[in-house]
Amino acid sequence: MASEQKRLFLALSLSALVLFGWQAFFAPKNSFVAPVKQESADKGNSAVGNEINSGTLTGESTQDDNVGNAPIGAKPSLSSKAVLLENGDSSIRITSDLVFMDIQSEMATDSLEAVVGNKSPFRVFLIRDNRKIAPQFSFTKSGSRLEGVDTVNNLKFIGSLAPGGIFNWSISSPSPQQYYMQLTSSKMEGEGRQIRQFLTLLKDVERDNIDEEELYEGTLQWIGIDFHYHLLATVLENKAVSSVSIKNSVLGARLVESTKELKARTILSLKQFESLEAMGGNLQLSVDFGVFGVIAIPILNGLRFIYEYVPNYGLAIILITLFIRTLLFPLQFKSFKSMKKMQKLQPQLAKVKEKYGDDPQRMQKETMALFKKNGANPMGGCLPLVMQMPVFFAFYQVLFNSVELLNAPFFLWITDLSAKDPYYVLPVLMGIAMFGQTKLNPSTTADPTQQKMMMFMPLIFTFFMKDLPAGLNLYIFVSTLYGIVQQLIVYKTVD
């Protein structure tokens, strides 16, 4: 049983260490710099007329090979004309061949180029005779509304820039047409361990690094680019069966179903969960809470609720941590009782080891008999850790992905709870608290080497936590400290 406990503890510890290790050693440490510029070029950005082979719904590579080779940077052709729409502090420049560029939004804090890697990331093509055709509209602007006509392809365009920066647009035709939407970007990793990604919402959200190659098929809801707490997305109002390919830093979405009207909206926004949810289209799914989203979302809502009354997210983290630990205390009480019994058995366990050290099977049998006689459960000490791990990872996802905590100050030197503690005070305090908790927990082994290894674990956690968000360190410190208080109370009330 003791070996089972050690294996469980090591498995949980390794799970945490894998997360911390990836963040510490593989996440970039460079400063947030401007995106790497693409080769000038867009050599022959005459994506007009690029052939798209048939069989796009078969999963074959024919379309992917051609679409993926589209030039990087959705630059307009030399003959195109650009029109600027403005509404308050929001604006968008759109060209006559439907390149969306220079987007500024009241809902975003970063520039379009910082988010996606270029100033003209999105464009729309018409598909005729299995070829991509760039439309050529003649535009008429009226305030924040834009109308255009393409007499050659018999198309009509209507666009309007709503307050806040949402650009609603549609393309209509007397006869059904097929369309192709293209997003272009460049690979980027930032100081905050954010990785620029393509997002595609079919049945579920597909996340792909910019330099990956993928092919998806299904009913498309929206496509987008995610980076540094921001999202550039185009949401389809009339969802269509589509084939989506990613190759050479280009995401291409071919709408297989023909339609007389393509209606959509394009947004550039911070990934604030509540705001994205209010926009509709399941845009809130762009906020990645991971497998513990069912826990992370209530935690985020709880933080928001507390923040309304205590306008400091650091204090909100402390209060919600105390609430969660108190809520779990009835379950932990039994575990603490078991740990107290284990603590009392340490001298007898040492005698068993000394007496039967040369006979492992007999030693294990006598150890189990000792546990049974005294009603001790060596697995009981793992219960608090098991219960805390999902909450820990959910808290991590909240702090890593939630805009609410971006640049949120706590006190004194902690000016951003989503960034690391610049003086490493919280990681050190967390390590000290974890060491104290380790001293309280009884050991099921008398092996000095294993005991030293367990005592060394808080130092390892401190090392891996030092560059993680200050808010996460604050949560673990408060949770561990409060857990020690609970444990001491139980120890004093249990014989």
For the chain, the distance separating the N- and C-terminal CA atoms, rounded to the nearest angstrom, is 24
State pLDDT tens for residues 66-87.
Answer: 433 333 345 555 567 899 999 9
Q: How confident is the model at residue 210 (pLDDT cuts 50, 70, 90)?
A: very high
State pLDDT tens for residues 123-141.
Answer: 999 998 889 999 999 999 9
* DSSP H/E element including 20: helix 2-21
Note the pTM of the prediction, 2 decimals.
Answer: 0.71
Strands 145-150 and 214-227 turn out to be unpaired
Tokens of 176: 């059904």
Amino acid at 395: F
State pLDDT tens for residues 82-127.
Answer: 999 999 999 999 999 999 999 999 999 888 999 999 889 999 999 9
3-state class of 60 per DSSP? Answer: coil
CATH: 2.70.98, 1.10.287, 2.20.25, 2.60.40. Which one for 62-281?
2.70.98
In this structure, are residues 167 and 182 in contact, taking their beta carbons and an 8 Å threshold? no
- pLDDT (average), residues 393-422: 84
Q: Per-domain residue ranges for the chain?
A: 2-28+295-493, 62-281
Which residues neighbour 104 within 8 Å (Cβ) at sequence distance 6 or greater? 89, 90, 91, 92, 111, 112, 165, 268
State pLDDT tens for residues 3-35.
Answer: 433 444 444 454 454 444 444 443 433 333 333
Determine the Cα–Cα distance for residues 451 and 444; give it in Å rounded to an integer: 9
- pLDDT (average), residues 364-382: 67
Q: CA separation (Å) from 18 to 13, 90, 208, 450, 456? A: 9, 42, 21, 21, 17
Q: CA separation (Å) from 335 to 155, 385, 411? A: 70, 10, 35
Tokens of 492: 């004093």
